[in-house]
């Protein structure tokens, strides 16, 4: 349903261009749940904005296409995009606090979105707004509430309700739970999953917390320094991560059950995208580096249905490493 191919996004800065998203390709099927994980600055939010065509200068899509339901979003005009947004594709932003208009009631904001897509009479507007609010577990009396009167969790739910006004085919979520505590976080995740099962929309869910999506997403995309490090089935990646970065990320989570083991985390810091190295971008932090990593840029290679960007899995270098 959604096909991202070769998407590249660059930021023009004083010190030249920074390639925040570099040649990213993947597909999302109908009703699929794709989790995108990565550290701050790895380009995951930029990727998301690139898909939704929400980038504003100095960011610019320099290559690639985003094909949604057979049409290339990158080539569309604003007017064409406006017709698709909310109706077929909606976005839930990271901070509902900032995404909702503080001087308008929740109901008025829902009505705005509905009117923009041709629902103009009052009755269906109110009926639909109440319906979606009920879907996310909020009492419809809150249509009259202003954002500040809702708690953080309720605001996030209201944002999700708004995204579901037209029962879109794809909902893009940018860390919708990051401001919530664990209990609220889990109940929101479960609810999102529940709604997905009922309504059948696909989800792209961006987060920095890998453990959050471990039980909810079908597929997982691990991003590092603007590129796909590893992409494949979620359970498979959690069970046997291939890329040293995914492995490091997984091992960086202390568990609350099982024996307590000392953890190391990943040494070093996320890379600066304005200086692209010749070899592998993960090299400075990699515990398994080899000589050719400094000179060869690894490509994505397929292994057991998982695509991974690491020379360890390129057949000829495998021998060299051992």
Partner 1 sequence: MTELLRADNLTRHFKIGATLSRRTLHAVDDVSFSIGEREIVALAGESGSGKSTVARLLARLYKPTGGQVLFEGKPISAIRSRRDKLRYSGQVPMVFQDPFSSTNPVFRVSHGVLRVLKLHRPELSARERQAEAQRVFEVVGLGADMLQRYPHELSGGQRQRVGFAQALAARPKLILADEPVSMLDVSIRIGLLNLMTKLRDSEGVSILYITHDIASARYVADRLIVMYAGQIAEVGPIEDVLAGPKHPYTQLLLSAVPDPKAPPPSAAALAAAVGERGEPPKVIDPVPGCRFLPRCPVSTDICGKVTPELRVLTATREIAGAAAAAGEVAVATDEATREVACHVAQSGVDVKAFS
To the nearest whole angstrom, how small is the minimum distance from the Cβ of residue 114 to partner 1?
A: 26
Judged by CB under 8 A, does residue 185 bind partner 1? yes
Among 25, 214, 236, 296, binds partner 1 (CB under 8 A): 214
Nearest CA to 177 out of 226, 219, 211 is that of 211
Judged by CB under 8 A, does residue 133 bind partner 1? no
Cβ closest to partner 1, residue 11 vs residue 68:
11
Stretch that binds partner 1, among 2-10, 75-83, 97-105, 246-254 (CB under 8 A): 246-254
Judged by CB under 8 A, does residue 186 bind partner 1? yes
Judged by CB under 8 A, does residue 194 bind partner 1? yes
What own/partner pairs with CB < 8 Å and gap ≥ 24 does 128-131 have? 128/165, 129/165
Judged by CB under 8 A, does residue 278 bind partner 1? no
Question: 309 — phi, psi (to 5°)?
Answer: -105, 85
What DSSP state is assigned to residue 298?
A: P
To the nearest whole angstrom, how small is the minimum distance from the Cβ of residue 253 to partner 1?
A: 6
Judged by CB under 8 A, does residue 208 bind partner 1? yes
Stretch that binds partner 1, among 62-70, 99-107, 146-154, 162-170 (CB under 8 A): 146-154
For 94, other C-beta atoms within 10 Å of its C-beta total 20
Stretch that binds partner 1, among 73-81, 160-168, 255-263, 288-296 (CB under 8 A): 255-263
Site for partner 1 in 19-58 (CB under 8 A): 39-40
Judged by CB under 8 A, does residue 218 bind partner 1? no
What DSSP state is assigned to residue 85?
A: B
**What contacts 107, CB < 8 A, 6 or more positions away?**
126, 129, 143, 144
Half-sphere exposure of 171 (CA within 13 A, CB side): 25
Among 140, 152, 233, 277, binds partner 1 (CB under 8 A): 152
Characterize the bridge pairing of strands 227-233 and 219-224: antiparallel
Residue with tokens 């077929």: 88
- Is the separation of the CB atoms in 68 and 1 below 8 Å? yes
- Three-state secondary structure call for residue 19: strand
Q: Give contact residues for partner 1 (rule: CB under 8 A).
A: 39-40, 137, 151-153, 181-187, 190-191, 193-194, 208-212, 214-215, 235, 238, 248-250, 252-260, 262-267, 269-270, 285
């Amino acid at each position: 349903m959604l096909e991202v191919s070769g998407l590249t996004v660059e930021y023009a800065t004083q010190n030249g261009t920074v390639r925040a998203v570099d040649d990213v390709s993947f597909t999302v099927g109908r009703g699929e749940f794709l989790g995108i994980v990565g550290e701050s600055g790895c380009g995951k939010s930029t990727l998301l904005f690139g898909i939704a065509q929400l980038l504003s200068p100095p960011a610019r899509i320099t290559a690639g296409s985003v094909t949604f339901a057979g049409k290339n979003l990158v080539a569309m005009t604003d007017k064409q995009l406006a017709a698709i947004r909310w109706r077929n594709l909606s976005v839930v932003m990271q901070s509902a606090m900032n995404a909702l208009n503080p001087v308008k009631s929740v109901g008025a904001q829902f009505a705005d979105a509905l009117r923009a897509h041709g629902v103009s009479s009052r009755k269906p507007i109110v009926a639909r707004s109440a319906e979606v609010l009920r879907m996310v577990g909020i009492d419809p009396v809150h249509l009259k509430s202003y954002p500040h009167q809702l708690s953080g969790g309720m605001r996030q739910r209201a944002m999700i309700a708004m995204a579901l006004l037209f029962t879109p085919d794809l909902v893009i979520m940018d860390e919708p739970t990051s401001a919530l505590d664990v209990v609220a976080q889990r109940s929101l995740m479960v609810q999102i999953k529940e709604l997905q099962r009922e309504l059948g929309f696909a989800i792209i869910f961006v987060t920095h917390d890998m453990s959050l999506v471990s039980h909810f997403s079908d597929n997982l995309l691990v991003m590092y320094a603007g590129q796909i490090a590893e992409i494949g089935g979620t359970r498979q990646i959690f069970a046997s991560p291939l890329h040293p970065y995914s492995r490091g990320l997984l091992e960086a989570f202390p568990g609350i059950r099982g024996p307590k083991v000392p953890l190391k985390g990943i040494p070093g810091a996320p890379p600066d995208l304005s200086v692209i190295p010749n070899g592998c971008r993960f090299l400075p932090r990699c515990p398994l580096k080899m000589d050719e990593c400094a000179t060869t840029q690894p490509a994505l290679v397929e292994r057991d249905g998982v695509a991974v960007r690491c020379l360890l899995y390129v057949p000829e270098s495998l021998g060299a490493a051992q």
